[in-house]
Amino acid sequence: MASNFTSRFFLLRLRAKVALLTLLAVLLPNQFASAVAPQPAQKVLFLYSWQSVLPANLEWDSGIRKALESTEGRGIEFHTEYLDLAHHPEGTYLQSLLNLLKTKYSGQKIDLLIPVGDLAFSFLQAHGNALFPGSPIVFCAVVKQQLEALKPPPNSSGVVAWVDVQGTLAAALKLQPKTRRVAVVGGIAKTDRALEHIAREALRPYEGQLEVTFLTDLSMAEVLQRMSSLPPRTVVIYLNMLRDSTGHDFVPLEALERVAQAANAPVYGLWETLLGHGIVGGHLMSFTEQGRLAGELGRRVLNGAKPENIPVIYEGGDVYAFDWRQLQRRGLKESALPPGSLVRFKEPSLWESHKREVIGTGAAFSVLSLLVVGLLINLGRRRRAEGSLAKRLKFETLVAELSGQFVAVEAGKVDQEIDQGIKRLVEFLGVDRGRLWQLSGPQGEFIPTHSWAAPGIRAISLPPAQRFPWIRSQMLQGIPVTFSRPDELPREAEIDRQSLLADGINSALCIPLSVGGKFIGALTLSALRSLKAWDPGLAQELRPIGEIFANALIRSVADNELQQGELKYRIVADFTYDWEYWQNPDGIWRYVSPACERISGHRPAEFLKRPGLLRDLIVPEDQDRWDRHNCVSQKDPSGRELQFRIRRPDGSIRWIEHACQPVTDDAGKFIGVRASNRDITERRQAEISEQQHREQLAHMTRVATLGELTASLAHEVNQPLNAVMNNAQAALRFLHRENPDMQEVGEALGDIVRDGKRAAEVIQRLRQFLRPGEMHAQAVDINQVIEETAALTRNEFQASNIRIRFSLADNLPPVWADGIQIQQVVLNLLMNAKEAMEQAGSNPRELLVRTEQEDGETVKVSFRDRGPGMTSENLEKIFEPFYTTKTAGMGLGLAISRSIIASLGGRVWAAPNPDQGATLAFALPIFKEEHR
Amino acid sequence: MSPAKPAVYVVDDDPSVRGAMKRLLKSVGLPVKTFASAREFLDQATPEWSGCLMVDLRMPGMGGLDLQYQLNARQISLPVIFLTGYGTVPASVRAMKAGAVDFLEKPVDDQTLLDAVHKALERDRGAKRDQAEMQALHQRLAALTPREYEVLAFIISGRLNKQAAAALGTTEKTIKVHRARIMEKLRCASLAELVRLAEKAGIKTLD
């Protein structure tokens, strides 16, 4: 009952709600409609790097908007942020900026982000994901170098700002061929610095030809002062000046106006916006055009294209443009401008400026004739316009088709496609021959790589290095060359003219090509059978096509290089003298170099078949070490080394020096071991014979040293012998008494046994010491060696009245050494100290023998004497063979000591003491398990 | 140790050698005292000690030769037997000049060693005896009056009583009395005996 009531009540409430919604829908038709519309307006956010007042911003803005607004259907909502990062790169400003943007845009879906300039782009790089997750990016005016350094995010594409310092300089040099100096003006803001960097790179090739000065760390006042006193034959390139060295901020245009006003030489620039503010001109970046290109890309993104599928536009929106007034002011000839240059702010000609007066005074002319003339002009104009429009369309189509073709072309077919492209271009332009030249070789020669010629025309001629020096130099400066007749070439092009005549070339169009700002070659089109009149600006228009070819060429070279590279590494690996291999974690061999056969007697195929073959080849004694090595080597990224022996099928033993390293993929995953095996059998044999020599020599010097020690040694043996004899004789007497004292006899016999052992030990030590045997490194207690050796020489030191003090470290780890050889070293150093003190007649005569652990790796043993000390000259020489300051001895003791210690991986050195005498010391590696 | 009882003093830094030496000397019934260093011995020795000293030529710190020098300086007259493992001529010459009894090379035959010890002990005994005699002599000489001492010089110089009386400004008779008293005090029975005694005591004759 209760539940029934509840459900009825619920129904009623539901009905009421539906009614309310319907009412709302009627009252608010628009909102309702937009709520159900499938596509709301798309949101585009502009992020400018700088403050809002920059004139360039407006140009970009208009370019981008124009292109974007042509997007069909959906409306676009524009948002703009001026990040002003050049003036405030970090700190609290950045934090507030982030907060502001978060507040403004969180929860909003931005459909397209357009960062303008490097700083906005890198800002997005760092914070874009947090602020605008998932929003695609189309950047504009990001400098190429910056783009490369930033490694753009995957969902981005855009337009690179091509700051063509070289193009501008080339234009300036064309206008002022006698130029000797270039002054480059810039500032210290981040953007200024980036431009300075680009300019420095770009001007490097001119070093030696031109004297380049950077005025980038000066105050505005200093810059202006310098501008007013520039030496003759100088051109100024104005980069940008947002901030001068005193920290004063400028709008770059205003800064330019002041610089240009002060300059006693022409000022050239890099941006179109600068035109009209004091620059003569240059190869200028057009912000509007750049904006348009970026807008086009943006449109594609808004229409659903993925940015990662849209190639970045590297060069575009640039133009050779000049200010007519500046040309006049600086006395520069318009005729010397690069072909296709735009000349702005040209003052109207006499006719233009005095049109009204002319018309007024020319009233005598009949209106009719005027009309006729006017109509004729109009008609001609229209025809020309129509013709050029059609031609233009065809041209655009050609460009589009060629670009399309090359985007998809396979690496192997690039050459063929370039040939085809040249053919189409040649046919389109109605010329006879087209060629692509590549700049290569150390002398920068132009090598023809692709060519197409009309039937009956010779396709290839000689490289133009010597035959066309002038054209070549123009190309190298990035200046296109066009002529309808060879006569049109300037006087300095005489050689070129002769070559052209010899080749039968009438007209030609030569376009320098660059890819990514790097000059790589040229495209030439020539007419042999007719004279060709070129449209002005054609060279400029053909540039994109040439660069399509150039890009393709570069790609084919790169592809080829990649293939060549693989081949190269394969050859390197296959022909390497050592036995190289790469083994998967599961033990399967991925690669075994053919040298394995020479070394192991087994062919690579045998290894590939049998994963365990290498281990099986290793002699049984070394297999344990190999297994232990394998365990650790896979984890040690620094690589490991091991020496082992293998038995070849013919039974012979080879020594292998093995070095390996774990290989990991980009994600750090272990994907195998790369190793190199070197046959060191001969080296080992040489080492062994060297070691034998060293051992022989060491033995000789041991014998010699012991010769010097005869007295001490005799004493060491005599003492216990003496005791033995006395005890034995005493025992006999006790025994032969009438009442034999058996207790005394027993005690005497006990002492005899003890002293007999003692004597035997001395003899044993001597025998070991004198044994000419080979070296056996093992764990050695260095303190014990010192004590035993000191015992041998004790008498010697007593005789010389020298006290030996020992400071032997407790818990000293064992060292990796041969006990006998170390004893020899200790003996040599003891004797050296003794003799030094004897000679000097030192007082007090004291030798301090100290052992200590140096670090985790070595144990140090030092002998500090109070002898005469040594000069720096002695210090160097004492370890040399046959060097001795003593009257007796061969001078071999210390040399042998050094060679012994060195062979054990230790070191020996000597140093004067601050007070008196010298310290000789050696350090030996601590014994480690892996030594076994 | 009582000074009256002669002993063999052994100084050697090597405990084995020291122990064996002690046992050997004990086996022939000689009293032995051992010291581990020259310093230890010097700290205890007095001029009254008798017997002999057996010392190793080379020891840490003070060696045998230095010890011998020190003993001479302290007028401790013990005959010294040097032992050495490897004798050197200069060292032995020095030792002998300084009054060493023997210079033995280790290992030494027991008989040689014991002979050397006995010889040394004998020498010490003789020396000690001479020393005692001299002491008695000096006591006797001390009993003479100054006048008698003057007369003694005339007597041992072979002068007649008359000559002595003239020289000393007295009578012959008085000289005779002095002479009798001297003979009595020095317990000499004859002139020859007196002369020998005076010579031993180092009394100078006239001339």
Please state whether the predicted TM-score (pTM) of the whole model is above 0.90: no
Contacts of B109 in chain A (CB under 8 A): 725
Query: What DSSP element (H or E) covers A194?
Result: helix A190-203
Per-residue confidence band for A742, with pLDDT thresholds at 50, 70 and 90: very high
pLDDT for position A576: 74
**Which A residues in the span 783-842 are in contact with B, Cβ-Cβ below 8 Å?**
794-795, 798-799, 803
Q: Is the pLDDT of residue B25 over 90?
A: yes
- Look at A116-130, A871-885, B137-151 and tell me which has the smallest mean pLDDT: A871-885
Residues of chain B positioned with their CB less than 8 A from the CB of A747? 23
- Average model confidence (pLDDT) across chain A: 79
pLDDT tier for residue A334 given thresholds of 50, 70 and 90? confident
pLDDT tens for A41-55 read: 888 899 988 877 777
A49-63, A399-413, A674-688, range with the lowest pLDDT: A399-413
CB A832 within 8 A of CB A840: no
Question: For residue A19, what pLDDT is reported?
Answer: 43
Hey, which residues does A907 pair with through a beta bridge?
Answer: A923
- What are A6-18's pLDDT values in tens digits? 444 444 444 444 4
What is the pLDDT, as a whole number, of residue A90? Answer: 73
Amino acid occupying residue A855: D
A336 or A639, higher pLDDT: A336
pLDDT tens for A167-220 read 888 888 888 888 889 999 999 888 788 888 888 888 888 887 888 889 988 889
Residue B87 in contact with partner chain A when CB distance is under 8 A = no
Cα-based distances in Å from A667 to A151, A582, A671, A672, A674 = 18, 19, 10, 14, 17
Smallest Cβ distance to B27: which of A723, A733, A803?
A733
Closest residue in chain B to residue A724, using alpha carbons only? B20
* Higher per-residue pLDDT: A306 or A466: A306
One-letter amino acid identity for A793? Answer: T
- The mean per-residue pLDDT over the stretch A451-459 comes to 77
Nearest to B24 among A711, A719, A730 (CB): A730
Whole-number pLDDT of residue A393: 65
Least reliable range by pLDDT among A80-84, A453-457, A784-788, A815-819: A453-457
Q: Work out the minimum CA distance from A791 to partner chain B, whole angstroms.
A: 13
Which residue is closest to A733 within chain B, CA to CA?
B27
Tell whether A742 lies on the interface with B, counting CB pairs under 8 A: no
Structure confidence at residue A753 (pLDDT):
94
Is A733 at the interface with chain B, CB within 8 A? yes
Residue A20's pLDDT is what? 43
Q: Mutating which of B10, B13, B22, B23 best tests the A interface, going by the most A Cβ atoms within 10 A? A: B23
β-sheet bridge partners, residue A736: none
Question: Average pLDDT, stretch A294-322?
Answer: 83
pLDDT interval class at A460 (50, 70, 90): low
CA distances from A731 to A749, B21, B109, B111 (A): 7, 12, 14, 14
Question: Tokens 């259907």 label which residue?
Answer: A73
In this complex, do B20 and A721 lie within 8 Å of one another by their Cβ atoms?
no
Tell me, yes or no, if B19 comes closer than 8 A to chain A by beta carbon: yes
pLDDT digit string (tens) for B156-172? 888 888 998 998 888 99
From chain A, pick out residues whose CB is under 8 angstroms from the CB of B63: 798
Q: Inter-chain contact A751–B24, Cβ cutoff 8 Å?
A: no
- pLDDT bracket for residue A743 (50, 70, 90): very high
On chain B, the residues whose CB falls within 8 A of the CB of A806 are none
* pLDDT for A364: 40
How far apart, in whole angstroms, are the C-alpha atoms of residue A677 and residue A166?
A: 52
Instruction: Give the ipTM of the model, two decimals please.
Output: 0.75
Contact A715 B58 (CB under 8 A): yes
Closest CA to A319 of A305, A338, A292, A303: A338
Mean pLDDT, rounded, for A149-168? 81
Summarize the confidence of residues A347-352 as an average pLDDT.
49
In the DSSP assignment, the letter for residue A347 is P
Region of A651 (left: φ > 0; alpha: ψ -120 to 50; beta: rest) is left
How far A902 CA sits from the closest chain B CA (Å)? 35
**Residue in B13, B86, B105, B109 to test binding to A, most A beta-carbons within 10 Å:** B86
Please give the pLDDT value at position A646: 93
Does residue B115 sit at the A interface (CB-CB below 8 Å)? no
Is residue A711 less than 8 Å (CB to CB) from chain B? yes
Tell me how many residue pairs between chain A and chain B have CB atoms under 8 A apart: 89
d(CA B32, CA A746): 20
A722 to chain B, any CB pair closer than 8 A? The answer is yes
pLDDT value at A85 more than 80: yes
Q: How confident is the model at residue A39 (pLDDT cuts 50, 70, 90)?
A: low
Please judge whether A726 and B110 are an interchain contact, meaning their C-beta atoms are less than 8 angstroms apart: yes
Calculate the alpha carbon distances from A486 to A177, A448, A460, A530 in Å. Answer: 21, 21, 20, 12
How close B23 gets to chain A, by Cα (Å)?
Answer: 6
Higher pLDDT, A766 or A786: A786
A683 Cβ under 8 Å from any chain B Cβ: no
- Lookup: tokens for B183: 């003979």
* Predicted pLDDT of residue A34: 41
Q: Which is higher by pLDDT, A774 or A781? A: A781
pLDDT at A5 over 70: no
Q: What are phi and psi of A674, to 5 degrees?
A: -105, 135
Looking only at the bridges linking them, the beta strands covering A318-323 and A653-664 are: unpaired
DSSP-derived letter for residue A162 is: -
Instruction: Choose the closest CB to A798 out of B26, B59, B83.
Output: B59
| Structural tokens at position A566 | 């693989």
Q: How far is CA A47 from CA A80, A137, A241, A734, in A?
A: 6, 11, 21, 116
Q: List the single range of A195-199, A855-859, B70-74, B106-110 with lowest mean pLDDT.
A: B106-110
Mean pLDDT of A611-622: 89
Q: Which of B14, B24, B26 sits opposite A719 (nearest CB)?
A: B14
- For A806-832, letters b (16+ CB in 10 Å) and e give eeeeeebbbbbbbbbbbbbbbbbbbbb
Residue A347: is its pLDDT beyond 90? no
When pLDDT is averaged across residues A745-752 and rounded to a whole number, the result is: 94
Which is it for the CA torsion A552, A555, A561, A563, positive or negative? negative
The proportion of chain A whose per-residue pLDDT surpasses 90, expressed as a percent, equals 10
Mean pLDDT, range B83-108, rounded to an integer: 72
Among B27, B60, B109, select the one facing A734 at the smallest CB separation.
B27
- % helix, strand, coil for chain A, step of 5: 50, 20, 30
Q: What is the pLDDT of residues A495-512, one digit of tens each?
A: 888 888 888 888 888 888
Length, in residues, of chain A: 932
CA distance A686 to A457: 70
Q: What is the DSSP letter of A537?
A: T
Alpha carbons B182 and B151: distance in angstroms, whole number: 9
Average pLDDT score over residue span A297-302: 86
Residue B184 CA to its chain's centroid (Å):
28
Q: How confident is the model at residue A559 (pLDDT cuts 50, 70, 90)?
A: low
Report which of residues A876 and B10 the model is more confident about. Answer: B10
| pLDDT at residue A745 tops 90 | yes
Contact between A751 and B20 using a beta-carbon 8 Å cutoff: yes
Which of A710, A718, A731 faces B106 most closely, judged by CB atoms?
A718
How large is the average pLDDT for residues A405-428?
76
Query: Span A804-828, mean pLDDT?
Result: 88
How close does chain B come to A653, measured CA to CA in Å?
A: 54
Q: How close A778 comes to chain B (CA, Å)?
A: 33
What is the model's pLDDT at position A461? 57
* Nearest to B109, CA basis, from B83, B78, B91, B90: B83
Per-residue three-class SS string for chain B: CCCCCCEEEEECCCHHHHHHHHHHHHHCCCCEEEECCHHHHHHHCCCCCCEEEEEECCCCCCCHHHHHHHHHHCCCCCCEEEEECCCCHHHHHHHHHCCEEEEEECCCCHHHHHHHHHHHHHHHHHHHHHHHHHHHHHHHHHCCCHHHHHHHHHHHCCCCHHHHHHHHCCCHHHHHHHHHHHHHHCCCCCHHHHHHHHHHHCCCCCC
d(CA A465, CA A327): 34
